[in-house]
């Protein structure tokens, strides 16, 4: 079973105060890049893996999805998602992605935002999503970028000239990383970018787009603090087709 950090009160309070929790999709830097990768959702049966407060589920319905199943391990998240949603075509369910079961060929699109780096058995998860999708359907997800996850000390340092650097190490050493983000002892699973791609290819998916998110010049005018993302990526966006 995956760690359920979102139901720890300190973590949940911190997460709930983040811009993306308050403002929804438009509060997430990477959302415009994700939206560009979405297929036409009109009439589609959508599954959202790690649905959080339900922002994506409601968005999918607003652009024509027939139905959305939102899954999350956190009772806190599912509770608020249900409270914030008035739509019979959206179902929220508590579910551990580590042990996910989905009916075969029952969805036309799968989405996940920043959830899979909490999952240890990515291979099993990908195989489950593959079986749950009908042929020709798309699967778009974001995870924390492996460059962001890998280091012993995942925080900025300085180089010999005193300039900002990201102190990378242990990139090839896959497995758990324990960090103190919003709460102490958050467990994540580091996989190389190549491993993520190869797992998808082995399951049968065709790679469509891989984006190591960075701000545009236009983005930087509104958010000069995003300049850090030019030095090392935080978000990895992957789009595949079944």
Q: Which residues bind a second copy (CB under 8 A)?
A: 147, 151-153, 157, 159-161, 163-173, 192-194, 197-198, 201, 206-212, 214, 229-233, 236
CB of 90 to a second copy, least distance (A): 32
CB of 169 to a second copy, least distance (A): 4
Nearer to a second copy, 43 or 157 (CB): 157
Q: Are strands 175-181 and 183-190 parallel, antiparallel or unpaired?
A: antiparallel
Angle at 20 between CA 66 and CA 239, to 5 degrees: 55
Angle at 72 between CA 183 and CA 106, to 5 degrees: 155
DSSP string, 82-113: HHT---TTEEEEE--GGG----TT-EEEEEEE
CB of 161 to a second copy, least distance (A): 8
Residue 31, phi then psi, degrees to nearest 5: -60, -45
CB of 238 to a second copy, least distance (A): 9
Nearer to a second copy, 91 or 195 (CB): 195
CB of 224 to a second copy, least distance (A): 15
Nearer to a second copy, 1 or 221 (CB): 221
Helices 122-132, 193-203: axis angle to 10 degrees equals: 40
Nearer to a second copy, 77 or 240 (CB): 240
Q: Is 80 helix (H, G, I), strand (E, B) or coil?
A: helix
Nearer to a second copy, 85 or 234 (CB): 234
Nearest to 52 by CA among 27, 22, 72, 68: 72
CB of 114 to a second copy, least distance (A): 17
Quote the distance between the C-alpha of residue 227 and its chain's center.
Answer: 21
Nearer to a second copy, 187 or 220 (CB): 220
């Amino acid at each position: 079973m995956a760690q359920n950090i979102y139901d720890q009160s300190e973590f949940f309070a911190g997460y709930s105060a983040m811009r993306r929790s308050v403002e929804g999709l438009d509060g997430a830097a990477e959302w415009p890049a994700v939206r560009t990768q979405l297929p036409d959702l009109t009439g589609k049966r959508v599954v959202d893996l790690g649905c959080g407060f339900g922002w994506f589920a409601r968005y999918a319905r607003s652009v024509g999805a027939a139905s959305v199943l939102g899954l999350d391990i956190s009772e806190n998240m599912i509770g608020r998602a249900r409270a914030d949603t008035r739509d019979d075509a959206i179902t929220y369910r508590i579910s551990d992605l580590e042990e996910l079961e989905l009916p075969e060929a029952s969805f036309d699109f799968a989405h996940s935002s920043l959830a899979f780096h909490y999952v240890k058995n990515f291979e099993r998860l990908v195989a489950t999503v593959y079986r749950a999708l009908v042929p020709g359907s798309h699967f778009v997800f974001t995870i924390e970028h492996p460059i962001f996850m890998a280091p012993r000390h995942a925080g900025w340092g300085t180089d010999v000239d005193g300039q900002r650097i990201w102190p990378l190490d242990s990139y090839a050493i896959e497995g758990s990383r324990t960090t103190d983000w919003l709460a102490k002892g958050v467990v994540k699973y580091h996989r190389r970018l190549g491993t993520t791609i190869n797992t998808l290819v082995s399951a049968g998916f065709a790679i469509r787009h891989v984006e190591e998110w960075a701000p545009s010049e236009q983005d930087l005018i509104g958010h000069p603090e995003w300049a850090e993302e030019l030095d090392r990526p935080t978000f990895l966006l992957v789009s595949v087709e079944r």
